Chain A
């Protein structure tokens, strides 16, 4: 089978973001999605630190300390962009104004529970940022993650063993192996990568999967 690399995963998510959408991209892997948004579409990226209309990275030497994304990386502002304070920024999130949040994850459960902020390890310093607000606030929560851990265990699980970020909040999972919808009656496989059968994906995942009625 042909596993997707990080860029291919980002491109796959980007394909599903429609014209006119307001989108928050989480720190890490989801940030890559910005590089693959289709050129012809106007899509407005939101950042927790009070920005709508995030643009691409500035040219070398053009970085400005006052202009960063939520990952504190230098960014630019698109024409038409705006600034606002943190309470307004999270009113946009919590108030269900964002169409999509794309988040990374340690685990997603069959019920759509998300764990992405804390390993629960005794020596780990917890940090949550805006993840819990995005999980409950965005109209659609898209998760982007490798399908398996480095040890080969499925990150899609019956019940999350890591502390939850939000309960029953994930709508769709994009992995390096498949695209899977989370629905009230379970997980529906939308597509698999080239050379990977539904049966093999089922074996690797270890949780019950359904074939989407329209899938081949």
Chain B
């Protein structure tokens, strides 16, 4: 019997090694897998490369992982925010590396990894600083930049409902990067609000099929109001 349900966030992340590349879902707080990030902080892995749209907000979640100096490098599109003080401080001190990626290129590089694509040409960033040193090509009447996939060892994502096969649904704009990250990582770990029986999710409504999911953990709903 397939059962991807794991007892706790701690059990789900026990084997994360130092130096791992970890995708973390979420766009700001929407879709951020806070319980999994807290468990990763407790677990102790360091020298991590983190892929997220941002570089942490305020003091919790990804910001706490960065503040704990466990992250060597961040790949993201938008690190600088009013409340990204932990990242800002380490970046200015030269203690954390940043690879800045346009948001659509970040998404497509993640998607490409999950889809087995070797590289792709995108018009985004052509002629800008973010394309410096990259191969370019004129195709038809447009110029493109060659971009490579981003693979990860683990993806930590938040979904709404799961079954024991790992089929997932999401809630509103909390979906964002989660489905593509689930496909791009060797081991995707999902925190969910509810685990239902097989068949409890309408097959037409499954957003991420279980083939992309390795581990599922139910965590108490921590839905907070947006700031």
Contact with B along A130-156 (1 / 0, CB 8 A): 111100110000000000000000000
Quick check: A86 and B107 within 8 Å, CB to CB?
A: yes
Bound CA span A167–B28, Å: 29
Interface residues of B in 179-203 (CB under 8 A from A): 179-180
The one of B28, B111, B127 in contact with A164, judged by C-beta atoms closer than 8 angstroms, is B127
Q: How far is the CB of B148 from chain A (nearest CB, A)?
A: 15
Which residue in chain A gives the minimum CB-CB distance to B131? A132
Bound CA span A10–B158, Å: 36
Quick check: B102 and A83 within 8 Å, CB to CB?
A: no
Interface residues of A in 103-137 (CB under 8 A from B): 118, 123-133, 136-137
Quick check: B172 and A86 within 8 Å, CB to CB?
A: no
Contact with A along B135-156 (1 / 0, CB 8 A): 0000000000000000000000
Quick check: B175 and A50 within 8 Å, CB to CB?
A: yes
Bound CA span A167–B123, Å: 11
The one of B91, B92, B104 in contact with A130, judged by C-beta atoms closer than 8 angstroms, is B104
Q: Evaluate whether A64 and B78 lie within 8 angstroms (CB atoms) in the complex, with A51-B173, A127-B100 already known.
A: no
Quick check: B127 and A65 within 8 Å, CB to CB?
A: no
Which secondary structure dominates chain A's binding surface?
loop
Q: How far is the CB of A170 from chain B (nearest CB, A)?
A: 14
Which residue in chain B gives the minimum CB-CB distance to A168? B127
B170 at interface by CB-CB < 8 Å = yes
Quick check: B178 and A85 within 8 Å, CB to CB?
A: yes
Quick check: A128 and B175 within 8 Å, CB to CB?
A: no
A74, A118, A133, A166: residue with the most chain B Cβ atoms closer than 10 Å: A133
Bound CA span A4–B148, Å: 45
A48 at interface by CB-CB < 8 Å = yes
| Segment from B13-21, B37-45, B65-73, B218-226 that makes contact with A | B218-226
Q: Evaluate whether A128 and B172 lie within 8 angstroms (CB atoms) in the complex, with A49-B30, A64-B225, A87-B111 already known.
A: no
The one of A49, A124, A136 in contact with B176, judged by C-beta atoms closer than 8 angstroms, is A49
Quick check: A126 and B100 within 8 Å, CB to CB?
A: yes
Other A-B pairs, 11, CB within 8 Å; known A132-B130, A136-B124, A167-B127 = A65-B29, A66-B171, A68-B226, A72-B30, A85-B179, A86-B53, A86-B103, A89-B104, A90-B104, A166-B128, A167-B128
Q: How many residues on the B side are at the interface (Cβ–Cβ under 8 A)?
A: 52
The one of A51, A65, A137 in contact with B124, judged by C-beta atoms closer than 8 angstroms, is A137
The one of B78, B101, B123, B226 in contact with A65, judged by C-beta atoms closer than 8 angstroms, is B226
Quick check: B173 and A49 within 8 Å, CB to CB?
A: yes
Q: Evaluate whether A164 and B128 lie within 8 angstroms (CB atoms) in the complex, with A72-B28, A83-B172 already known.
A: yes
Bound CA span A76–B87, Å: 30
Quick check: B225 and A125 within 8 Å, CB to CB?
A: no
A204 at interface by CB-CB < 8 Å = no
Q: Evaluate whether A127 and B91 lie within 8 angstroms (CB atoms) in the complex, with A48-B103, A65-B223, A67-B30 already known.
A: no
Quick check: A128 and B127 within 8 Å, CB to CB?
A: no
Contacts of A47 in B (CB 8 A): 173
Quick check: B226 and A74 within 8 Å, CB to CB?
A: yes
Which residue in chain A gives the minimum CB-CB distance to B224? A65
Contacts of A127 in B (CB 8 A): 77-81, 100
A63, A93, A125: residue with the most chain B Cβ atoms closer than 10 Å: A125
Quick check: B100 and A65 within 8 Å, CB to CB?
A: no
Which residue in chain B gives the minimum CB-CB distance to A120? B129
- 13 A-B interface contacts by CB (under 8 A): A49-B30, A50-B175, A65-B226, A86-B27, A86-B110, A87-B107, A127-B79, A128-B100, A128-B101, A133-B104, A164-B128, A167-B126, A167-B128
B49 at interface by CB-CB < 8 Å = no
B64 at interface by CB-CB < 8 Å = no
Quick check: B80 and A66 within 8 Å, CB to CB?
A: no
B33 at interface by CB-CB < 8 Å = no
Contacts of A64 in B (CB 8 A): 172, 223, 225-226
Quick check: B129 and A163 within 8 Å, CB to CB?
A: yes
The one of A73, A77, A126, A136 in contact with B172, judged by C-beta atoms closer than 8 angstroms, is A77
Interface residues of B in 154-176 (CB under 8 A from A): 170-176
Q: Evaluate whether A166 and B102 lie within 8 angstroms (CB atoms) in the complex, with A49-B176, A68-B226, A85-B175 already known.
A: no
Quick check: A125 and B80 within 8 Å, CB to CB?
A: yes
